[in-house]
Amino acid sequence: MSTLRNIIMLTALSLALPALAQTAPATPSTAPAPAPVAAPPTISLDQAYKKEYAFLQAQKRELSERVAQTRNALERDRAALQGQINALESRVLAAKSQAEALSNELVRGDEQAQVAADNRELVNVTIEQARATLGGFGDETLKQASFAELEESAQLKRVFELASHTLAAFSRLRQQPGSFYRADGKQVDGTIIHWGNIAAYGVSSEASGALVPAGGGQLRLWDAPGQSGSESALALAKGNRISPLGVYLFENINTAVTEPEAKTIAGEIAKGGFIGYIILALGALGLALVALRAAFLKNAGAAVAPTIDAVLRPLAEQRIDDAITAAKRHKGSAARVVTAALRNLDRDREHLEDIISESILHESVHLNRFGAFIMVIAAVAPLLGLLGTVTGMIQTFDIITEFGTSDPKLLSGGIATALVTTELGLIVAIPMLLLGNLMGGWAERIKDDMEQAALRVVNAQQEAQFSALGKAA
């Protein structure tokens, strides 16, 4: 930089010297000549410039070579580092692949270990089930110490051998002496014919037939098959085969088979519990009220025609007092409505019709007697049935919560209450609703008949008056 600055200064001086020479003032001719001075050394700008330029070119070449060397060194370092990076990336990828492979192998190892544990558990369960099942048949082989010393594969092989042998033994009929119980509970000795492990027959001098489990490994005669069971037992004892064969198939000889319960109306009602009896009591009360209301309506309807017949003759002769007396001889709503009309015949027609309507409304209280209560019973009965249903379901869920669902007999009580009460509620509600509506329609018809009878009396009286006026004219 200092060299370049010197070159610039020298260039500026070389340019400034001619200008200074031209602007210098002229020396007068008369002035004396100056004394001679020694001339300064001559400096060549071109040579200085070229020399400096050559120096700069040399420095430039040197710098270019150094830059090129540095760049080459950087390129070599970069290539070396890139190679190392690539090598590291390859090692990382290889490590990841190896880790994934190890993870997969670990998962497979866990799965295989779980499968092995499940298989071992399954083998143990199978052996325990086989031990219990074969023990029930009297085979204690699986409970011996020699069986426990075998390997699992040998144990399974032994289990299947014993199972096949047992199946072969139970797949045919076999007879053996034994005792069983008759239907009345008396124990008898005889021959028991086993059909595999699903059915049995008993043959003795006192009784014969199909056998069912009685509990505790005992057998008893079964009455349901009837005579065919006895014939089948006797035929099998002689080695004969008959068709059809009376048989009762059972699942377990240790579980007693109970006789089917005979269904009766009282038994079905008893399943409904306390709510069921309330529904039946309401039904009986409703039927009694229907009978009473039917009797009231029958008497009221039957009294309309006799009352009219008794009143019309004296009314035609203008004997109103005799007509009132004749109406009073009859009892009932119709007689009272007609009597009210006869007593007010002297009033105008509109007022008389209002009196008749008032009398009919008064009698409606008697005609509608028990009608509302019957309809209440028809509405309440299904609600009580629904209450019994909810109660029974609550009992069922309580039993499920405490004992589970293993024994259906524990659940039958609550379910029976739930269903029977609904059935009883509908049995009571449907007839009550039907009869209540029929009774209501009957009462309305009687009211219409009473109104027609009263209007007929009024019309008859007016006709009698017109006839009397015609004869007088």
Q: What is the pLDDT of residue 25?
A: 43
* Residue at 433 is within a domain: yes
Q: Are residues 395 and 325 in the same domain?
A: yes
* Residue at 335 is within a domain: yes
Q: What is the pLDDT of residue 16?
A: 46
Dihedral of CA atoms 454, 456, 462, 465 in degrees, nearest 10, equals -100
Q: Are residues 228 and 368 in the same domain?
A: no
Residues 335-359: tens digit of each pLDDT: 777 777 777 776 767 777 777 777 7
Domain boundary among 213, 236, 260: 260
Distance CA 207, CA 188 (A): 8
Q: Are residues 255 and 324 in the same domain?
A: no
Residues 172-193: tens digit of each pLDDT: 777 788 888 777 777 888 888 7
Q: Are residues 252 and 275 in the same domain?
A: no
pTM of the model: 0.46
Q: What is the pLDDT of residue 5?
A: 52
Q: What is the pLDDT of residue 201?
A: 78
Q: Give pLDDT < 50 ranges for the chain.
A: 2-4, 12, 15-33, 37, 225-227
Q: What is the pLDDT of residue 30?
A: 44
Domain boundary among 211, 241, 260: 260
Structural domain range at position 244? 172-260
* Residue at 333 is within a domain: yes
Q: What is the pLDDT of residue 22?
A: 45
DSSP assignments along 358-407, one per residue: HHHHHHHHHHTTTHHHHHHHHHHHHHHHHHHHHHHHHHHHHHHHHHTTS-
Q: Counting every residue, how long is the chain?
A: 473
Q: Are residues 343 and 379 in the same domain?
A: yes
Q: Are residues 227 and 354 in the same domain?
A: no
Percent of the chain with pLDDT over 70: 71
DSSP assignments along 257-269, one per residue: PPPPPPP-HHHHH
Q: Are residues 312 and 219 in the same domain?
A: no
Distance CA 300, CA 366 (A): 10
Distance CA 253, CA 257 (A): 9
Positive or negative, the Cα torsion across 274, 276, 281, 285? positive
List phi, psi (to 5°) of 311: -95, -30
* Residue at 444 is within a domain: yes
Q: Are residues 236 and 313 in the same domain?
A: no
Q: What is the pLDDT of residue 288?
A: 92
- Report the candidate in 190, 194, 201, 191 with the shortest Cα–Cα distance to residue 166: 194
Tell me how many domains the chain contains. Answer: 2
Q: How many CB atoms lie within 10 A of CB 360?
A: 21
Tokens of 344: 């007010």
Q: Are residues 342 and 367 in the same domain?
A: yes
Beta strands in 173-222 (DSSP E): 173-181, 187-195, 199-203, 208-215, 218-221
